[in-house]
Amino acid sequence: MDDKSNADDWSVSNLNSGLSRRRALLGTASVAVGATALQLVAGQNARANVSVEQVEIADATFEAEAVDPVVDVEVAYAYAADSVSELHIELLVDGDTVASESLRTGSEELENDTNLSGRVVDADAWSAADFEVESGESITREIDVTVEFSVVDVDRVVAADSASDTAEIVVEHPNDDHASVGMVGQIVDGE
């Protein structure tokens, strides 16, 4: 299998791939990619164009006593470089990687897209308790979401870019505690 058509090999890493069914979808991000030359390694004679022009993460509001928020992004990318061995895409929450993908490839040009999902609580800055709320109360958490894309030739990055956005997660627990009492009676002669 050394023909070039079989040279592409994706590997995906979610730091906690056992996401529960009750996970809450934080938002959908769309990353548009253009052809602006960015962060070309000094002294490199290769052409290497890659950019991440836009990331937009929607705010999210949940009505529950606790949520397990998940950032779900669709990443569109394109690159051109004279020599490529691997592509890396990372999804970060507050500076910590919560999901990543790598593609081994010899393709000098590629335009594609991929999806990444990662739990917010996999970032060191957050724990499950940060997204729990008492009855009748509400909390707001602000998170920074970043997508990083890099084109690698052997062990050196030939081009890279990143984009970030900030989103709010609101968890509201309605006050459904209640009590009621009723009475029907009469007064009678006790003798």
In whole angstroms, give the CA distance from residue 150 to residue 35.
14
Q: What percent of the chain has pLDDT over 90?
A: 31
For residue 153, list its beta bridge partners: 156
3-state helix, strand and coil shares in percent for the chain, rounded to the nearest 5: 5, 50, 40
pLDDT in tens, 90-128: 999 999 999 999 999 888 888 888 888 999 999 999 999
**Helix, strand, or coil here: 131?**
helix
Q: For the purposes of burial, counting CB atoms within 10 Å of the CB of 87, is it exposed (0-12), middle (13-18) or buried (19 or more)? A: buried
Token pair 């690698």 is found at: 152
Average pLDDT over residues 41-69: 65
| This prediction's pTM | 0.70
Residue (of 86, 148, 85, 143) closest to 116 by Cα position: 148
